[in-house]
Amino acid sequence: MHGKTVLLTGATQGMGRHLAHALASAGATLLLHGRDGARMAQVASEVRALAPDAPPRTYLADLSDLDQVRALADRLLRAESRLDVLVNNAAVGGGVDPARREVSRQGHELRFAVNHLAPYLLTRRLLPLLTASAPSRVVNVASMGQTPIDFDNAMLEREYEGVRAYCQSKLAMIMATFDLAAEFAGDGITLNVLHPAHLMDTEMVRQSGFTPVAELAEGMRPTLRLIADPAVAGVTGTYFDQFTEAPAQAQAYDPDARARLAALTETLCAVDD
């Protein structure tokens, strides 16, 4: 990873923090994203200690606010000369109270906004930098927990349940990854998505009411493979269950559902093409 610049969202805790340590040790120049300044400063200090010759650069933004996502992308485009890898790792889980529906700054269902809309918008807006740095990679961290989207109730204003919201947001991320991979196949950018490990030992998993069963290192290893392994350099538009190419939930392969999601996503993001 020497000479490679990697943007890692959600870098201040959980698997993101461990990825930051591993990437720094491998020689990458890190662009660390988080929404908590104190935690960001702590992780940046840890990374500097591991790689004093490649100090990280930090970017604060709350991904539940799409205006902050746009501003984050704009700052990156102004400040950075290259971007070899974008890792969309930040996420919101099912929540402490699964019956409590939360919304983003723009009024969208929170999990859909943070887990799908934010990484989609960030990726879209950083495409000029990714293209200029090609061959480049986008690695999206999803989940084996995937629930079909009911497009008549996509924001779950009826029959809300937090884990369902999380699972449909991760399926949306997978579907968008497939579409973007096809759209930019000729631009030297690969886009892949993975389930890193089942119920890792993270605050998000515990807050959602689950008992962790996997160490963070178990999820970090397959994620690092998609970030750095030359063996997957030409692979794009693929969903991985850890190290293995696997089928996602059936809706991910439904052209009508993909088209409806794409239209909904662009409407909610108000993307300027």
Which residues are CB-contacts of 156 (< 8 A; sequence separation ≥ 6)? 101, 109, 112, 164, 165, 168
Active site residue 160: no
Marked catalytic residue, from 59, 166, 239, 253: 166
Cβ 166 vs Cβ 111: under 8 Å: yes
* Cα separation, 12 vs 20, whole angstroms: 9
The residue with tokens 């020689």 is: 27
Q: Please give the biggest Cα pair distance in the chain.
A: 52
Tokens of 116: 């799908």
φ, ψ dihedrals at 32, nearest 5°: -100, 130
Which residues are CB-contacts of 210 (< 8 A; sequence separation ≥ 6)? 199
Distances (CA, A) of 11 to 34, 158, 198: 6, 33, 19
Distances (CA, A) of 49 to 5, 115, 147: 18, 31, 41
* Cα separation, 147 vs 165, whole angstroms: 8
β partners of residue 194? 141, 240
Distances (CA, A) of 2 to 31, 167, 230: 14, 35, 14
Tokens of 208: 């959602």
Active site residues: 166
